[in-house]
Structure 1
Amino acid sequence: MQADAYFHKAANVEISIFGGMTHTEIAQPFPPAYHAIAEETERLGFTMPSDVQTCALLRTLAASKPGGAFLELGTGSGLATAWLLDGMGAHASLVSFDHDEALLAIARNYLGGDHRLSLVLADGADWVSANKEQSFDFIFVDTWHGKYLLLDEVLGMLRPGGLYIVDDMLPQPNWPEGHQEKAHAFIQQLESRADLWVIKQHWATGIIIGVKR
């Protein structure tokens, strides 16, 4: 069965009877640094930036943990990072790592002055292995580690009641051959876990939200 079969597909129509609500509308302000980061990311030629609908959801969910400890696996250029910071409280903290120095430099340039943020240049496996004793209230996974690799280790860092969020769970044009089956297996693995409540959302690139039981 295809990965997208696990998501309910709503009709692709705009709904106007509920105050102009549509499936794709992002009406609230974007984070101050977002557009500058997006422009630099495009100039760099990076073709896998975080979807803006995913980012808006992250900000909304981040606001539910006002003093929380946040972890982002896969900073990229900091697009999603900017939205997370926008939703976080003044006393929250965010650790975000990536292995790509050029992308991380963009995030550091525009977001590095935020005292709540720690940007780390690191390989995913190395960082997770060295930090397994840390714990977090909110984990956003935008790379293979914490999703297809080292899932148990990353979920072991999640505190009870903590949010675990992954994106790109609907078929994407850049998926290599065989990745759809990998995504299908990953979804089944999440749903079989006794320590996680899971909900699948046909939103943006396909979102899964888990809460640690």
Structure 2
Amino acid sequence: MSTPQPESTLRRALKGSKVLVKRHLQDIAPRETLRARRDHVAVTGAVPELDGIESAMAPHMDRLKPFHTDYCDRIGHPVHAASLELTALVLLLCERLNVQKVVDLGSGFTSWALRDWAKGRDVTVHSVDDSPEWLEKTRSYLAEQDLADERLHVWPEFAAAGFEGAFDLVVHDLGFMDTRFEVLDTVVGLARPGGLVLLDDMHKPDFRDKALAHLEAAGLTAYSLKRITRDRLTRFAYALPIPV
């Protein structure tokens, strides 16, 4: 039996090029580009706290950047770690919305950032993951940073624990995209009336189109935040305000 040969540098480069081309084509898709332009204005009518938020995110991004670099170097790959843009937006929304309870679905860098921001504030942070192994990585990282590691949950237990309508802000970055869609109704139900859900990784058209159609059928409207959350990997988020 022949020994499998390691993948050549050229083959890896070609694969990487295909990924970049795919991301670029998704990024310039006309329908999403138009929607992002429209929603950039419309979303402030639904969530007034987003008005002018892009420029206000800069100080948070500057403060977070060295921590984000260290996290991506040692703990989580940049593709999987939440972007600087999203994390800065989450922290600023916590301030502007006077958030008292927030849940990070898909534990990682944002879980650290939220706990660091919440020190000395009357804010409760929950972190949830569908991977027990990754949740332990988050626990270890929080301990390393001298932050409390309570309220860390595995998804099945959390989903069954009666947190419906409990949160002012929900950040949905849980698991792979199939899982993310399967749990969407439960995730939306975690937010209180008048609360807000942030849906990350909406650059992926298969997930985005299914999620938006599903939410629209339920009478809910999500807004593209591409103009303020798009990162160097072309990832971006949507905002889903929950009716009162």
2:140 equivalent among 81, 90, 105: 105
Between 61-70 and 40-49, report the one with greater CA deviation. 40-49
Supply the distance in 1 between the matched residues of 2:66 and 2:97 (Cα, whole angstroms): 25
- The residue number in structure 1 matching 2:74 is 43
Amino-acid identity (%): 19
- The structure with the greater share of residues assigned to helix is 2
- Cα root mean square deviation, aligned: 3.3
Deviation at 1:148, TM superposition (A): 1.0
In structure 2, relative to structure 1, the CA distance for the partners of 1:74 and 1:158 (3 Å cut) is same
- The residue number in structure 1 matching 2:111 is 81
Q: Secondary structure at the match of 1:84?
A: helix
Q: Secondary structure at the match of 1:57?
A: helix
Between 198-207 and 98-107, report the one with greater CA deviation. 98-107
Supply the distance in 2 between the matched residues of 1:81 and 1:34 (Cα, whole angstroms): 15
Q: Partner letter of residue 222 of structure 2?
A: V
1:6 and 2:42 matched: no
- The residue number in structure 1 matching 2:23 is none
- The residue number in structure 2 matching 1:94 is 125
In structure 2, relative to structure 1, the CA distance for the partners of 1:156 and 1:45 (3 Å cut) is closer
- The residue number in structure 1 matching 2:170 is 139
2:89 equivalent among 28, 33, 57: 57
Deviation at 1:54, TM superposition (A): 0.9
Instruction: Summarize deviations over 1:87-141 as a string: whole Å, max 9, x none.
Output: 658112111123312244213322524xxx734152x233212344461111111
1:154 and 2:187 matched: yes
1:120 equivalent among 132, 141, 152: 152
1:201 and 2:201 matched: no
Residue ranges of structure 1 left out of the alignment (5+ in a row): 11-20, 172-179
Q: Secondary structure at the match of 2:107?
A: coil
Instruction: Give 1:24-43 correspondences, 5 Å limit.
Output: 27-30=58-61, 35-36=66-67, 38-43=69-74
2:206 equivalent among 181, 185, 189: 181
Instruction: Summarize deviations over 1:42-88 as a string: whole Å, max 9, x none.
Output: 22453411110111111111112325211111112xx2234434665
Q: Secondary structure at the match of 1:130?
A: coil
1:163 equivalent among 191, 196, 211: 196
Q: Secondary structure at the match of 2:212?
A: helix
In structure 2, relative to structure 1, the CA distance for the partners of 1:87 and 1:209 (3 Å cut) is farther
Q: Secondary structure at the match of 2:198?
A: strand
Contact 1:147-1:166 within 8 A present in 2 as well = no
Q: Partner letter of residue 53 of structure 1?
A: E
Larger Rg: 2
Supply the distance in 1 between the matched residues of 2:56 and 2:97 (Cα, whole angstroms): 24
Q: Secondary structure at the match of 1:156?
A: helix
Query: In the comparison of the two structures, how many residue pairs are matched?
Result: 186
